[in-house]
Structure 1
Amino acid sequence: MIELVDPNDSRAVRNKNNVLRFYDLVINQKKSEESIATFMTPGYIQHNPLIADGAEELGKFFGQITKERANARVVVDKIIAVGDYVFAHVNFLNLFNDDPEDTGIAGVDIYKMDSDGRALEHWDTLQPIGDPKNSAPWLAPNLPRANPNGMF
């Protein structure tokens, strides 16, 4: 994992660590509903149209996914923290299927954090990763890759 954070910016270091703990506890350890309030403010604003506003709603969303998908997990590839913002480049695996060969969904999450290190607001952009013969499975099925670079 690549981490970019000024070690002298204690707020940014704390925020980065909180986002990493959020991913681990909420998704990888499947403890979303009992731990979500540690990481999100009650009035948490969600910009992903699939998820309602509020920490409790985010906890329910991931709680449902992790109950249905035992293999659901997230791998953080890069994380950048500056002041009140954290940017994470991640791979969400098995969130919407049980395929052991799932290549996942590449995501860039952006969090705005409060003075206590909890997320106030979240934006994301998501892209299915696909494979060499099917590079964009949801958008343009069976379109081969145009380059060998990969998402991470």
Structure 2
Amino acid sequence: MNKNKDKAIAFYKMAYEGAPRKATELYVGIEYIQHNPAVGDGTEAFIDYFERMQLEYPDKSIEFVRAIEEGDLVALHTHQTWPNNEQYVTMDFFRFDTNGKIVEHWDSIQEIPNTSKNGNSMY
């Protein structure tokens, strides 16, 4: 697992499925800059957020649809399913330091609508 995109997937999956502390220990660098306005800066805020999500929504699931790596950036396109079959498409961006550790994160999330005017999926 040398590629940063493999590390980003492993990090996100581990945190999402209930082990955010282990995920940060394995994959996050000295700093962790967060751009999601619902999550504070730093690893402890990240851990708190994902531990709370695991307690409140233990049956959520995630599928990694695609991963793109360019330089020190990785983009993940995911499909999330939450309770009551709520479906979301997310796009996460991670910046890695020179040691191959995640140091910055941006994301965008959108609920998948029941209908589409163009008939195309969001993937």
TM-score (ref. length: structure 2): 0.89
Q: 2:79 is aligned with what amino acid?
A: N
- The residue aligned with 1:131 is 114
CA distance in 1, matches of 2:60, 2:100: 25
Structure 1 gaps, min length 5: 1-9, 133-144
Contact 2:34–2:106 (8 Å) recurs in 1: yes
User: Radius of gyration: which is bigger?
Assistant: 1
| Of 52-61 and 33-42, the range deviating more from structure 2 | 33-42
CA shift for structure 1 position 18: 0.6
- The residue aligned with 1:57 is 45
Structure 2 gaps, min length 5: none
- The residue aligned with 1:7 is none
| Of 123-132 and 48-57, the range deviating more from structure 2 | 123-132
CA shift for structure 1 position 31: 1.0
Q: 2:90 is aligned with what amino acid?
A: G
- The residue aligned with 1:150 is 121
Q: 1:42 to 1:57 in 2, by over 3 A?
A: farther
Moved over 3 A (4+): none
Contact 1:41–1:54 (8 Å) recurs in 2: no
CA distance in 1, matches of 2:106, 2:74: 11
- The residue aligned with 1:139 is none
CA distance in 2, matches of 1:146, 1:112: 34
CA distance in 2, matches of 1:124, 1:71: 22
TM-score (ref. length: structure 1): 0.74
Q: Which of 40, 43, 47 is equivalent to 2:35?
A: 47
- The residue aligned with 1:23 is 12
CA shift for structure 1 position 80: 0.4
| Of 119-128 and 38-47, the range deviating more from structure 2 | 38-47
Counting aligned pairs with the same residue, the percent is 26
Q: Which of 36, 60, 70 is equivalent to 1:72?
A: 60
Whether 1:113 aligns to 2:96 is yes
Contact 1:78–1:90 (8 Å) recurs in 2: yes
CA shift for structure 1 position 67: 1.4
